[in-house]
Amino acid sequence: MSRRTGKVTIEDIAIAAGVSKTTVSRYINGKYNLMREDTRRRIETAIRLSDYQPSAIARSLKTQRSLFVGVVVADITSPFSSMLISGIGNYLDAHGYIPVFVNSSDSPEKEANYIRTLLTHQVDGLIVNTTSHDNPYLIQLANSGLPVVLLDRRIDNFNFDLVTGNYHAPMEELVHHLHDQGFDRAVLFTEDYTNNSVRKDRLDGFCSADRACFGRANPMDDVITLRIGDARHVRDEVRRVVEETPEGQVTGLVSSNSVTLVNLVYATSTLGLSIPKQVGICGPDDWDWSRSMAWDWSEIIGMGITTYKVHPYRMGVEASELLMKRIGDPGGARRTIEVPCELTVRRSTLLDGGRT
């Protein structure tokens, strides 16, 4: 302990752990590959018990890094985003980095302005949940050598590091499930997908399966774009689909995300529709709430809603780990990581009998 300041020093940690100051320095700077596992654990224990706080300024001078990471989120109000943020924050904190989160509110202009501001603070890299698949500014930054990892949403015409979900195949699986259960038609309800690669992937998966299962020559006839936040509009669109369905037939409603799914559930409830006798309902569960709770919201609505589960917390962790690797190896091969989704069938799409 320093006599002048009364603070624990790196030398104190080295003595307590029975290692050299150089080894402790390697631990502090995240170079775990240069030490044995038991050495790492001894240093970790010594730091925890002594409440040692490494100097961020000293570390940044030594490593030529700020130890800050800019994280741009398209819509921070979404439960999906809250789980992304949790995964990113936990991983970066454990590895000595401080995330700086900004919310672009789905505005490409805000996104670009926030990124410029983050760069003036000399962040070591960016994790970006982008607002648009057309993003020449981010391409320019990546070409300049700045470590950039895209999270969830893609950007066209450039090979970024990317962590996303497997969105196309699960949507196809949902539509095939509806067909096999005996539904006569499937209709996709989506928010605007113009600039959103995830919604486009889900749309493409739906159209592919709608064509294959229900023989629709123009699957876009079975796609409805909703104004989320306008409950009357959503209810009227659901009513129209049900009224267009011939007597004796049943339509399956498919949502493009959890926000849309909850709006569809509310609309069917206010219309007094019986699920699944009058209409089926299903879609993605991309909120990941069951990770931190002992129950799943889609299990307790009615008799249960058929969903496929997305894992935003895991995606946030994977994106953070990928960025750390890119900071350490700027010239390494770019990677795309697809986090798998799992379908869970519940009563909302189980018609008695199904197709034989």
- What structural domains and CATH numbers belong to the chain? 10-54 (no CATH), 64-164+313-339 (3.40.50.2300), 167-311 (3.40.50.2300)
Which residue bears the tokens 């953070």?
Answer: 320
pLDDT band at 49 (very low <50, low <70, confident <90, very high): confident
pLDDT score of 57 more than 50: no
pLDDT of residue 152: 97
Residues 195-206, mean pLDDT to the nearest whole number: 96
pLDDT of 335 over the 70 cut: yes
Average pLDDT over residues 312-324: 97
The model's confidence at residue 55, banded by pLDDT at 50, 70 and 90, is low
Q: Write out pLDDT tens, residues 243-279.
A: 999 999 999 999 999 999 999 999 999 999 999 999 9
Position 62 pLDDT exceeds 60: no
Class of residue 267 by CB neighbours under 10 A (exposed 0-12, middle 13-18, buried 19+): buried
How many CA atoms lie less than 13 Å away from 291 in the CB half-sphere? 18
pLDDT confidence tier of residue 63, bands split at 50, 70 and 90: low
Rounded to two decimals, the pTM is 0.80
Task: Read off the pLDDT of each residue in 76-97 and give the average, rounded to a whole number.
Answer: 94
End-to-end CA distance of the chain: 77
pLDDT at position 22 over 80:
yes
- DSSP secondary structure letters along 114-180: HHHHHHHTT-S-EEE--S-S--HHHHHHHHTT--EEEESS--TTS--EEEEE--HHHHHHHHHHHHH
Position 4 scores a pLDDT of: 46
Determine the average pLDDT of the residues in 209-234. 96
Predicted pLDDT at 54:
62
pLDDT attached to residue 2: 47
Percent of the chain with pLDDT over 90: 74
pLDDT interval class at 348 (50, 70, 90): very high
pLDDT score for 3: 46
User: What is the structure's pLDDT at 64?
Assistant: 61
| Averaged pLDDT score across all residues of the chain | 90
Residues 6+ apart with CB under 8 A from 194: none
The pLDDT of residue 204: 97
Residue 331 and residue 264: Cα distance in Å, rounded? 46
pLDDT tens-digit map of 222-246 = 999 999 999 999 999 999 999 999 9
- Cβ-based neighbour number of residue 351 at 10 Å: 16
